[in-house]
Structure 1
């Protein structure tokens, strides 16, 4: 059984001479990281801003209507608030569209890694891709198979965000339901344990040389 090599092992051939496959894997991992960072910005900056504004505006409208006597016209109260809420929903739809784009990019990068594996297998042989450590202990095959696992949590997270936006699309959504949707949007439960930061930052730190952006 092959012993794990420390990151400072001096005599690993793959450490001394980097092939095009090393460079392609590192580049794909860097781009995967960039995709997930963009994802976080979309969710926690752009999306959260619009979501909070939507919930706050809806709450303000409910409060103002509750304080307005029924005999008085309400259009001057409702119309401006509805315009703001519709703008927030349009912004959230744009965020979802951008998340879908990032998810497609993530899928594409995983497919690129699979292509690298096929190419390396043809050029270097079975043992090189299955057993030879690419940098430290992980083989090329292990990198490719493991990165494919990241697609599932991001797909679930994408569908989760779509569901949240659809839940809040109705202006009659109860306040507690809106607050819960806001909490869930921030929490991103599907990514807490299986997202890039939860798993891959440590792996790249331990297993990939020069893993910088």
Structure 2
């Protein structure tokens, strides 16, 4: 009797050890979970980076560029009026006005300075555009990294937070960056129109109207509405991620 009891004990012990293997699925490796969290963090930083670069662009275009463009047109009109009504107008050519009248000389110097500053604005716009290009490269690399870590199917099918997958976020941002190239070309043309001595006042006013409305860039309201729905606490400054180079 005691021999049977001793023989049955290993059988029960073997069956008990087999149950956990049959009932439970192993959890994902901790490293993979950590890497997935880092992907979310990097995506959030790139979303923030796009908004930062867009604010930089708007500041350069609207706060600085538009100001100098308006000053150029206004000062040209003032100089034209000065030349037309000056007492010495019959005695010298327009190119010689600055040698005869001290006030006109100061105005011409100021106009040259405004034109130079507007040229600098275009350089700064090109620099912001380059930052968008760096962001684009980072978005493409982020998709590749996510596919390597999570697999292609999971990367494209599984939402990052709510309903959008990581590649969908990246594709959307890439599409929003595209118009900045054509917009930069447009502003170079508008700058030439505004600074040229050959264009009429009406042409300059039309160029300023285009400058102010940024016709080739989409409004930010739609993107902010999307992020408010898809990214938890994205528009809450309390939960913003630390700033770093994108």
TM-score range, shorter chain: 0.7 to 0.9
After superposition, the C-alpha distances for 1:103-127 in whole angstroms (9 at most, x for unaligned) are 1101111210111110110110112
Q: Could you say what secondary structure the match of 1:149 adopts?
A: helix
Q: Is the 8 A contact 2:122 2:188 kept in 1?
A: yes
Identify the residue that residue 86 of structure 1 maps to in structure 2. Answer: 112
Identify the residue that residue 22 of structure 2 maps to in structure 1. Answer: none
TM-score, with normalisation over the residues of structure 1? Answer: 0.85
The yes-or-no answer on 1:71 pairing with 2:67 is no
Q: Could you say what secondary structure the match of 2:163 adopts?
A: coil
Which structure's CA Rg is the greater one?
2
1:147 to partner: Cα distance: 1.1
- For this pair of structures, how many residues does the alignment match? 195
Identify the residue that residue 46 of structure 2 maps to in structure 1. Answer: 28
Counterpart CA distance in 2 for 1:137 and 1:22 is 14
Q: How do residues 57-68 of structure 1 correspond to structure 2 at under 5 angstroms?
A: 57-68=75-86
The yes-or-no answer on 1:47 pairing with 2:65 is yes
Gaps of 5+ in 2: 1-32, 241-246
Identify the residue that residue 10 of structure 1 maps to in structure 2. Answer: none
Q: Could you say what secondary structure the match of 1:42 adopts?
A: helix
Gaps of 5+ in 1: 1-15
For the aligned residue pairs, the C-alpha RMSD in angstroms reads 1.8
* Runs ≥4 residues deviating over 6 A: none
Picking from 221, 225, 230, the partner of 1:207 is 230
Counterpart CA distance in 2 for 1:172 and 1:83 is 19
Identify the residue that residue 6 of structure 1 maps to in structure 2. Answer: none
Counterpart CA distance in 1 for 2:127 and 2:233 is 28
1:159 to partner: Cα distance: 1.0
Counterpart CA distance in 2 for 1:124 and 1:68 is 76
Q: Is the 8 A contact 1:58 1:171 kept in 2?
A: no
